[in-house]
Structure 1
Amino acid sequence: MRLKNKVSIISAGASGMGKAGALKFAKEGSIVNILDLNQENGEEIVKEIQDNGGEANFFKTDMSNLAEMRDTVEEIHNRYGRIDVLWNHVGTPGPSGLETVEEEEFDFTMDLNLKSGVFMTKYAVPYMKEQGGSIIFTASISGYVASPFSPVYAASKGAVVSLVKSLAVRLGENKIRVNAICPGLTDTPMLKQFLSRTEDDDFEENKKAFLKNIPLNRPAQPTDIANSATFLASDEASFVTGINLPVDGGYTAH
């Protein structure tokens, strides 16, 4: 088992890529802690993991509330005495365009896509310093190539791409690795929000146009992202830090 006895935290772990990651981490032996607002989905995943002989917990946590995040991280550490893996996965597609964006939408996008990861890392690092570990962010290909759908989303993910490099340099001496996964078009419940942000957007047409630029000619599946996260979380990636890994079927190469 590649993550045997490693204590992991996954934000937004109750659906999509986060759910796939929680199930994969558990299969590889990790003690999985899922943070999400969707309690019903979160508890179902915990039960599935437990029914298959794994260990998991669900914490209903608002990832825009710093106090809730801090208290949850502390509770996990108090329960297990260590934190080995932190996957800052929570995010939102953000508003469309620029001309109609409102301050509230901008702030919410930055809170979830950037601020939550900064502060989750802040709260977890003191505990991770005890034995080292792996911090993973979910960035996006929109963090380093143009996004026609949301400049605000691209700005938030571009900040994550830069943040990962800085944290990798700063935390290396503590044996803490920091990397990001940059998904491309991915078949999750959130995909429709990405590709049809206004009434004028045609989801199927936008999806078809996007697929034309993917050499592997398909969207990613949540398991594709989960497999990449598992590698970065595992000791197999013990000399990998500071990277932003595209998992995009060749879209950015194209």
Structure 2
Amino acid sequence: MIFSLKGKTAIITGGGSGIGKAISNTFAKQGAHVCILDFNEENGTSTVTEIENNNGTASFYKCDVSNQEQIENIISEITNNHSINILINNAGIAHVGNIENTNSEDLDRLYNVNIKGVYNGIKAVIPHFKKKKSGVIINMASIASSVGISDRFAYSMTKGAVLTMTYSVAKDYVTHGIRCNCISPARVHTPFVDGFIKQNYPDNQAEMFENLSKTQPIGRMGKPEEIANLALYLCSNEASFITGTDFPIDGGFIKLNG
């Protein structure tokens, strides 16, 4: 089977909702045992049940990715029963605002999840991957890593760090058989987007959804499943020659918005 993950174990942070949930389901369908690390227990356990109902296998671990000790303990627990092959650093949070209306608490919050959370995950799995002389890491960055987006100061800063962390890890561990790439989505239709529109534009939700969709040259937002399919390819044996690369998946946003 092409793009098979049969016999592999994948850790997916933020794997209980949105893009992370789509990745969890897609990987499980391709034969992986999926370990979902998520702060939201309801989302995480619900996704595990969904996977199991579709004849897949999955486990849930309640986790705050900003807590290094917690991630290390969970990954140590996972290795008691499984050999880890894949890490998807998907967990992240957003913030709207320019530098003037981004306070230090906002900055710390985004740093702790979006940057430190990625660092914690990578640092915990690297020893296991080095011992195996193989492993795949996918970091979820953003088009905000490489292009200017209004009112996304703190978010862009953290996603820029994710991009450069990806390059650094890929360079340092390529001779250890470890591949590290990142995916940079544009706007993707997730529950977060729906919640953002409902909270900020309660009287004209349909209009705002259409306006946000049209900011992508292709004319619509991305689907979580489309991001998951790219992640699947990058983690499969078919992508074994790819490392140290950023993959925009953006409906033409970066190249066609000039």
Which TM-score applies when normalising by structure 1? Answer: 0.93
Q: What is the 5 A alignment of 1:94-173?
A: 94-129=95-130, 130-173=132-175
Aligned to 1:74: 76
Structure 1 stretches of 5 or more lacking a match? none
What is the Cα-based RMSD across aligned positions, in Å?
2.1
Q: How far does residue 253 in structure 1 lie from its aligned partner after superposition?
A: 1.1
1:125-158, Cα deviation, whole Å (9 max, x unpaired): 1111214011000000000000112111001101
Correspondence for 1:11: 13
- Aligned partner of residue 90 in structure 1, secondary structure: coil
Per the TM alignment, residue 185 of structure 1 is displaced from its structure 2 partner at its CA by: 0.8
Superposed counterparts of 1:23-34, under 5 Å: 23-34=25-36
Shift of residue 95, structure 1, vs aligned partner: 4.3
2:54 is equivalent to residue 57 of structure 1: no
Paired residues for 1:212-223 under 5 Å: 212-223=214-225
Which of residues 217, 236, 239 is equivalent to 1:237? 239
CA distance in 1, matches of 2:104, 2:96: 10
C-alpha offsets along residues 94-118 of structure 1, whole Å, 9 cap, x if unaligned? Answer: 2422212221110110111111111
Larger proportion of helix:
2
**2: CA distance, partners of 1:146 / 1:139:** 14
Runs of 4+ in 1 over 2 A off after TM superposition: 192-200, 202-215
The whole-number CA distance in structure 2 between the counterparts of 1:40 and 1:214 is: 32
What CA distance in whole angstroms lies between the structure 1 residues aligned with 2:155 and 2:197? 13
Separation in 2, partners of 1:198, 1:44: 28
Partner of 1:43: 45
Aligned to 1:188: 190
Residue identity in the other structure for 2:22: A
Deviations 1:66-106 (A, max 9, x none): 111110111111121x2100000010112422212221110
CA, structure 1 residues 206+160, in 2 after alignment: closer, same or farther (shift >3 Å)? farther
Decide whether the 8 Å contact of 1:93 with 1:194 is kept in 2.
Answer: no
Check conservation: 1:149, 1:194, Cα contact below 8 A: no
Structure 2 counterpart of 1:98, one-letter code: I
2:218 is the alignment partner of 1:224 = no
1:188-226 C-alpha deviation (Å, 9 max, x unpaired): 0112566789689x8666654444342321100110111
SS in 2 for 1:79: coil
Q: How many residues align?
A: 253
User: Equivalent residue for 1:91?
Assistant: 92
The match for 1:20 is: 22
More displaced 10-residue stretch of structure 1: 22-31 or 95-104: 95-104
Instruction: State how far apart, in whole Å, the 2-side matches of 1:237 and 1:62 are.
Output: 30
Unaligned 5+ runs, structure 2: none
Question: Is the CA contact (8 Å cut-off) linking 1:178 and 1:241 kept in structure 2?
Answer: yes
